Amino acid sequence: MASPPPVVAVRLGQLSFSFAFPLFLSAFLVVSQAAPWPMMLQDPSHQAKLGQGLSLSSAAPALKWKYQAGGEVESSVVVGNKLVYSAAGKRIFALDRETGSEVWSFAAQQNILASGALAGGVFMVGADDHFFYALAEDTGKLLWKFEAGEAGEFTGGATVGEEEGVVYVGSGDEQLHAYFLNGTKRFSFEATAPVCSTPALDKTGIYFGDDFGRFFKLDRATGKQIWRQQFPANIRAPARLEPDGIFLSIGDPDESLSGEILRLGYDGSTMWRSDCGRGGRHKCGSCWTAPAVVGDVVIGACGLDSKSEGFIWGLEKDSGKVRWKVQTGNDCQTSSPMVVGDAVVVGCTDGKLYAIGAQDGARRWHFEAQAGIWTTPAMDEHGTIFIGSHDGYVYALEGTRKGGHDAAEM
């Protein structure tokens, strides 16, 4: 593993300080307010929730703006202080957060399906051309890139560990890659199967799955394997890390194996496997999404490519037993739930963005795009929701409340 170059990333309260020496002729200092949603699922542990006092509005969300991206949007939106970032087709782009107008775009060589991450003034995302790109957040200028190995398409999202100033991302070359924010390689871990799940981080570990159904914990300081667990179906879902357990989903979209939602201990032990995955009347289907945790309920979204239906599941946190389920018009296997107060917001390939009460599964509202929603929703500190769709649009929606008033009124 490469020795750390002189790179420092420090957060003090709401301020981020980033130093990077090798990339430039002299040292520089960037001081900026922390981005509200700098990666898919909001933070390295994938909490996917933001804002004190925010809750869902009682009415269906109002459209703030929409942007025609020119292709299907599968790259989940990342929210900075002034701009939002996504990709469609071969284009990576940044939009003004308030108006939706395009600020810059960058052309990759092939399509971008993966989700990016923002840190230290750099937006980073991988593409099907085997390259992982690092672009200046304000201008889109290419700062550096690295090329993965054979079959090295990037489909999972990138995760940044701010303490060490490192971005972690898996690829089809069967490796988890770790790079400092200046483009210097830190390490690569060989998983021996494609790594399509977005890695999660806690203070000591890196957690991710591969397409052979193996789930790994690596030492965050060294990149060495601490433990590995084998499951019966592939793991493309990001894990969600809670103080009392790791929550993840597994499944094959062609229905060759039943999907499940699981709770693990931090020693790798299985605490429970969801009832819906045992082949009975509550069969999950394929689950490629990070489960949400709201109080005593775990919420996952699942479905199958072969069936025109999907399900959003509410499970008892202590046991994995089914508390409720919501049927949707098509599968929900790629959009992870975002937590807003006592509810979640999640997209499905039936083109609807659903707002669901966490305790009872009651539908609060839905927003309908013109084609399927494969991306995970994001939100800014004022409660604006951002989502991309296969209809080629990125949407900004006003669908939350703060202090008893709609966020749009604040």
Strands 352-357 and 363-368: antiparallel
333: in domain: yes
Tell me if 44 sits within 8 A of 51, measured CB to CB. Answer: no
| Residue 395: inside a domain | yes
What pLDDT score was predicted for residue 254? 62
380 dihedral zone (left: phi>0; alpha: psi -120 to 50; beta): beta
What total number of domains does the chain contain?
1
* β-pair partners for 260: 250
Place of tokens 């499951």: 231
Question: Does residue 324 come out as left (phi exceeding 0), alpha (psi in the -120 to 50 range) or beta?
Answer: beta
pLDDT in tens, 62-114: 999 999 999 999 999 999 999 999 999 999 999 999 999 999 999 999 999 99
Predicted confidence at residue 25, as pLDDT, reads 30
Residue 116 in any domain: the answer is yes
Bridge partners for 87 per DSSP? 92
Q: Which CATH number goes with the domain that contains 279?
A: 2.130.10.10
Q: Give the per-residue pLDDT at 399.
A: 84
Residue-wise pLDDT tens digits, 362-390: 999 999 999 999 999 999 999 999 999 99
Instruction: Tell whether 22 is covered by a domain.
Output: yes
Q: Which segments of the chain have a pLDDT < 70?
A: 1-32, 51-52, 253-258, 277-283, 305-306, 403-410
Cross-sheet strand order for the sheet of 338-340? 338-340, 343-347, 352-357, 363-368
- The pLDDT, as a whole number, for residue 410 is 42
* Cα 17 to Cα 37: distance, rounded to the nearest angstrom: 17
Whole-number Å distance between alpha carbons of 223 and 4: 13
Closest residue by Cα to residue 83 from 36, 28, 13: 36
Would you state the pLDDT for residue 246? Answer: 99
Q: How far apart are CA 367 and CA 267, in angstroms?
A: 40
- What distance lies between CA 280 and its chain's CA centroid? 30
Residue 377 lies in a domain: yes
Residue 98 lies in a domain: yes
Q: If residue 201 lies in a helix (H) or strand (E), which one and from where to where?
A: strand 200-201
What residues have CB less than 8 Å from 239, skipping those under 6 apart?
A: 46, 197, 200, 207, 208, 209, 215, 246, 247, 248, 290
Classify residue 2: in a domain, yes or no: no
Read off the tokens for 282: 């509550």
Domain around 392: 7-409
Q: What one-character-per-residue DSSP string does 287-333 give?
A: --SPPEEETTEEEEEEE-TTSS-EEEEEEETTT--EEEEEEESS--S
Cβ neighbours, 10 Å, residue 94: 25
- Amino acid at the residue 388: G
Within-domain flag for 257: yes
114 with 148: CB under 8 angstroms? no
Q: What is the DSSP letter of 387?
A: E
8 Å CB contact between 310 and 330: yes
| Block residue for tokens 């090798």 | 22
